[in-house]
Amino acid sequence: MLSAKAGGTVALILDKMVNFLLDQPNLIQMRKLLLTGTALLLSLGVFAQKTYIHAGKLFDAKAGKMLTEQTIVVEGNKILSVNSGYQNPGANDESIDLKNATVMPGLMDMHVHIEGETSPTRYVDGFRDNEADIAFKSLAFAEKTLMAGFTTVRDLGGSGVNIALRDAIAAGRVVGPRIYTAGKSIAPTGGHADPTNGVRRDLMGDPGPDQGVINGPFEARKAVRQAVKYGSDVIKVTATGGVLSVARDGSAPQFQQDELDAVVQTAKDFGMHVAAHAHGDEGMQRAVLAGVHSIEHGTLMSEATMKLMKEKGTYLVPTITAGMTAAQLAEVPGYYPEVVAEKARRIGAQIQDTFAKAYKSGVKIAFGTDAGVYPHGDNYREFVYMSEAGMPNTEVLQSATYRNAVFMGIEDKLGQIESGKIADIVAVSGDPLIDISLMKNIVFVMKEGKIFKKYEECEFLTTL
């Protein structure tokens, strides 16, 4: 906004310009001066258009409470102010009527795979798709994610296209959420993220740290440094076997303690978090002892591991939606290879119960869904599953907003609708504190002050 001092300066400049122009017969000189004056006024914000959002309900994600009849003023990509009541915009400002909606900070999903999506042909597509094919497919997945209200995601493993996609979105070349990416996951030979699992021996080769496959602490350090070199924001390790990899075990530990220690320490040297994919309990304990920031999935977590996670401050990213989806698809004949289907039946359906126990025990929770294991854009299902498992709707919403911002260390920028924060704002028609399933119907999406989904007037589905 223009300060009183700046306003006085502008008035003085304008007065001098007008007097000078009156004495100038030269039209070219007048035109130059007018352009200069206009540029000055624009730089000082005199003509800056603001957006006034009238929110019938506004979720205070930090405090965990609902406010009513609020006006959010957005200028550029930032929130200028949040005020009680419905304030009138200026003549040149834009007004958005969300009086019949609940307005929230942009949602955050801390576990997605935005390069791909579940499909019965997934295991052969890897032999068919070139990097360009993966990239073009990812554009649709990114847009679906943003339209579902998720303005920030953490991509935990792909081919490396996710790094280029992150940069393209940040540059405004394509539409999608803000991405923090791990690039390629790190696994041991034959581990969950070894890209050659299940292929013919003559095609396997011997992938190394450059491809995210390591053996021993020295290679572990090199893989982390290589990930940093390629542009990763976070490090992902597969601490145990996985459900969807073409390998017989989905829960056994995959790293020795010295390997995990080397990964975490090297990542910390770069100021980076480490996320550990883990289903089995022993692998989880090794990862927590090494100092990982989060356990992803946590399906077979014991009470002892929950206690250890609380002591260390380790987060659980539950990904209930992925487990439920995998268990359902395992019953579709031929959808998964049998070695995968067997694991999906046995492991997938347990995730929701484990989440309930971990939450009740006091383990810190970060909202994450494993999108890509199920169709992108259906991220809202996690809200429903978390609520069913006993987490109050207020905390469910906080987990995907302010608490995820704290988890990422970006709470000074995102996660709350307040002055100075980046203008990531979404809305639903109805009150999700009453009915969390309403998160399926995102009716408004703003990211960095730009509107990507416009609100169409509709009535509340539940009583205000």
* Spatial distance between the Cα atoms of 157 and 370, rounded to a whole number of angstroms: 10
**Predicted pLDDT of residue 332:** 92
Using CA of residue 190, residue 193, residue 198, residue 199, what is the dihedral sign?
A: negative
Give me the sign of the Cα torsion angle 80, 85, 86, 91. Answer: negative
- Domain membership of residue 69 (yes or no) is yes
CATH number, domain of 204, equals 3.20.20.140
Torsion angle of C-alpha atoms 167, 168, 171, 175, degrees rounded to 10: -130
Look up tokens 């965990």; give the residue. 64
Q: Considering the domain boundaries, does residue 301 fall inside one?
A: yes
Both 130 and 31 in one domain: the answer is no
Residue 35 within a domain: yes
**What torsion, rounded to 10 degrees, do the Cα atoms 207, 211, 215, 216 define?**
150
Residue 300 lies in a domain: yes
What are the backbone angles phi and psi of residue 235, rounded to the nearest 5°? -105, 135
Count of domains in the chain? Answer: 3
One DSSP character per residue, 123-143 reads: HHHHHH--HHHHHHHHHHHHH
According to DSSP, the β-strands at 78-84 and 65-75 are antiparallel
Same-domain pairing of 31 and 55: no
pLDDT of residue 462: 37
Q: Give CA separation, 130 vs 134, 136, 161, 170, 378, in Å.
A: 7, 10, 11, 24, 26
**Shared-domain flag, residues 177 and 224:** yes
Examine the domain organization and report whether 206 and 307 are in the same domain: yes
In terms of domains, do 244 and 212 share one? yes
Residues 101 and 152 in one domain: no
Task: Give the chain's radius of gyration (CA, Å).
Answer: 25
Q: Given this model, what pLDDT does residue 443 score?
A: 97
CB-CB neighbours of 22 under 10 Å: 8
Helix (H, G, I), strand (E, B) or coil at 165: helix
Report which secondary-structure segment, H or E, holds 98.
strand 94-105
- Given the DSSP bridges, would you call strands 187-188 and 213-214 parallel, antiparallel or unpaired? parallel
* pLDDT at residue 120, as a whole number: 86
459 in any annotated domain: no
Tokens of 63: 């405090």
The parent domain of residue 386 ranges over 107-408
Determine, yes or no, domain membership for 400: yes
One domain, residues 9 and 85: no
Within this chain, do residues 429 and 286 fall inside the same structural domain, yes or no? no
Tokens of 26: 């030269």
Query: Does one domain contain both 99 and 111?
Result: no
Indicate if 66 and 138 belong to the same structural domain.
no
Residue 278: name the closest of 263, 308, 248, 298 by CA. 298
Side-chain-side CA neighbours of 368 within 13 Å: the count stands at 29
Residue 244's pLDDT is 74
Assess if residue 462 is contained within a domain: no
Res 458: pLDDT: 43
Q: What is the per-residue pLDDT for 460?
A: 39
Residues 93 and 170 in one domain: no
E strand or H helix at 265: helix 257-269
CATH code of the domain covering residue 440? 2.30.40.10
Contact 103, 443 (CB under 8 A): no
CA-based nearest residue to 329, from 319, 340, 316, 320: 340
Three-class secondary structure of residue 85 per DSSP: coil
Structural domain includes residue 461: no
Query: Does the pTM exceed 0.75?
Result: yes
What separation in angstroms does the CA of 172 have from each of 134, 139, 166, 236, 359? 19, 13, 10, 26, 38
- Regarding whether 193 and 100 lie in a shared domain, the answer is no
464 residues of the chain, pLDDT tens digit each: 444 344 444 445 545 554 555 565 565 565 555 556 555 554 554 557 999 999 999 999 999 999 999 999 999 999 999 999 999 999 999 999 999 999 999 999 999 999 999 888 877 777 778 889 999 999 999 999 999 999 999 999 998 899 999 999 999 999 999 999 999 999 887 666 556 556 667 665 666 677 778 899 999 999 999 999 999 999 999 999 877 776 666 678 889 999 999 999 999 999 999 999 999 999 999 999 999 999 999 999 999 999 999 999 999 999 999 999 999 998 999 988 888 888 888 887 899 999 999 999 999 999 999 999 999 999 999 999 999 999 999 999 999 999 999 999 999 999 999 999 999 999 999 999 999 999 999 999 999 999 999 977 444 333 33
